[in-house]
């Protein structure tokens, strides 16, 4: 088995013009910080309580049939990460409060694992092992990027593309959209065409900022004061009965669930258009989900 991290370009071409040129903007070259949304803050607190836990990872894998252009995959990752600022987020503490820091555009790596020499009788089990280990590998929220891509080479014409991301920057629905955008950008790169994303890239950062502003609005503070008054004298905790004692450390086991998602269908359509160098997917993709045990 061979593993390597292919060399990549030093800049993102995610917002290239029709002619292929690219002009860096302030959002691509400066380090900026934003407040966390309430959902992000919950995940950040959980990570601080139990760091080094991969239980909040999301993953999507798809099988690819046909030659795969690794350089096009790498450039597609660069482009998508350059377009979506949230994919360049790290999480730090400033003035005692957690913030998400958006890093300047930088090259994104795709780890490649060559399993082509593994005997067929044990290849499936080895593939499952590699996927299991990769999906469960924790992220360091203070050291981005908080998503990674792994390409498993099963033969010269068969690959598995695995995308793993932390929930603090991506939810289940957005994961499918992200995968579809990578596929669309890959297809454009293979055909030698520019990629034109459809939506603005700073939507979630704007949402998080607006949510914080509402949180400290006069109306919300008035409601908060009302409920504090109503709950004066309430017990500080409530001991609810449980059916069994919780173990000191909960364990998470990853399972692979077969599915056919919109992102996979998009990848199959976009990657099989007009180029012999593109890849077509088979009829299955898989979503890796956690299962807890106590």
pLDDT in tens, the chain (294 residues): 444 443 333 333 333 333 333 334 444 556 688 889 989 999 999 999 988 888 899 988 888 888 899 999 999 999 998 888 889 999 999 999 999 999 888 778 789 999 999 998 999 899 989 998 999 899 999 998 899 999 999 999 999 999 999 999 998 888 888 888 899 999 999 998 888 877 554 577 777 878 777 777 787 888 889 999 999 988 888 778 878 776 666 655 555 444 434 334 434 433 333 222 233 333 333 444 444 443
Structure tokens at 125: 């089990």
pLDDT of residue 91: 96
Structure tokens at 128: 């499952």
pLDDT of residue 274: 29
Within the chain, residue ranges assigned H as helices are: 26-29, 38-49, 70-83, 120-136, 172-190, 203-215, 218-230, 262-271
* 245 phi/psi in degrees, rounded to 5: -80, 130
pLDDT of residue 109: 77
Structure tokens at 187: 């297809």
Q: Tell me the HSE value of 52 on the side-chain side, using a 13 A CA sphere.
A: 1
How far is the C-alpha of 38 from the C-alpha of 95, rounded, in Å?
Answer: 18
How far is the C-alpha of 85 from the C-alpha of 26, rounded, in Å?
Answer: 12
pLDDT of residue 243: 80
User: ∠ CA 148-135-88 to the nearest 5 degrees?
Assistant: 25
How far is the C-alpha of 106 from the C-alpha of 199, rounded, in Å?
Answer: 21
Residues 77 and 149 sit within 8 Å (Cβ to Cβ): yes
For the entire predicted model, the pTM comes to 0.69
**DSSP conformational letter for 208:** H
Structure tokens at 13: 């071409």
Residues 266 and 183 sit within 8 Å (Cβ to Cβ): yes
Structure tokens at 5: 């991290």
Domains of the chain: 2-9+28-199+250-293 (3.30.559.10)
Burial environment of residue 265 by CB neighbours within 10 A (0 to 12, 13 to 18, 19 or more): middle
pLDDT of residue 168: 95
Q: Coil, strand or helix: which one is 103?
A: coil
Within 52-115, residue ranges assigned H as helices are: 70-83
How far is the C-alpha of 108 from the C-alpha of 111, rounded, in Å?
Answer: 10
How far is the C-alpha of 72 from the C-alpha of 276, rounded, in Å?
Answer: 13
pLDDT of residue 244: 76
Structure tokens at 195: 């990629």
């Amino acid at each position: 088995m061979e593993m390597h991290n292919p060399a990549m370009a030093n800049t993102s071409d995610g917002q290239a013009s029709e002619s292929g040129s690219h002009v860096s903007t302030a959002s691509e070259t400066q380090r900026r910080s934003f407040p966390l949304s309430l959902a992000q803050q919950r995940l950040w607190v959980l990570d601080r309580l139990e760091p080094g836990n991969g239980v909040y990872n999301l993953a999507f894998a798809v099988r690819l049939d046909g030659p795969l252009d690794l350089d096009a995959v790498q450039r597609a990752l660069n482009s998508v990460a350059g377009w979506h600022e949230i994919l360049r987020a790290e999480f730090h503490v400033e003035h005692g409060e957690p913030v998400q820091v958006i890093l300047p555009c930088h090259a994104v790596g795709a780890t490649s694992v060559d399993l082509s020499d593994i005997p067929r009788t044990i290849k499936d089990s080895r593939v499952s092992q590699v996927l299991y280990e990769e999906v469960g590998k924790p992220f360091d929220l203070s050291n981005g990027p908080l998503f990674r891509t792994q390409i498993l080479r099963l033969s010269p014409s068969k690959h598995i593309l695995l995308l793993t991301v932390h929930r603090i920057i991506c939810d289940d629905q957005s994961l499918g959209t992200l995968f579809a955008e990578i596929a669309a950008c890959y297809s454009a790169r293979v055909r030698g065409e520019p990629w034109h994303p459809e939506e603005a890239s700073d939507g979630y950062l704007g949402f998080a900022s607006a949510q914080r502003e509402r949180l400290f609005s006069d109306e919300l503070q008035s409601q908060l004061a009302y409920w504090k008054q109503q709950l004066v004298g309430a017990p500080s905790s409530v001991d609810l009965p449980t059916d069994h004692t919780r173990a000191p450390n909960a364990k998470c086991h990853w399972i692979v669930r077969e599915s056919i998602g919109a992102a996979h269908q998009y990848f199959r359509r976009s990657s099989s258009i007009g180029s012999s160098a593109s890849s077509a997917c088979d009829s299955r993709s898989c979503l890796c989900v956690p299962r807890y045990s106590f």
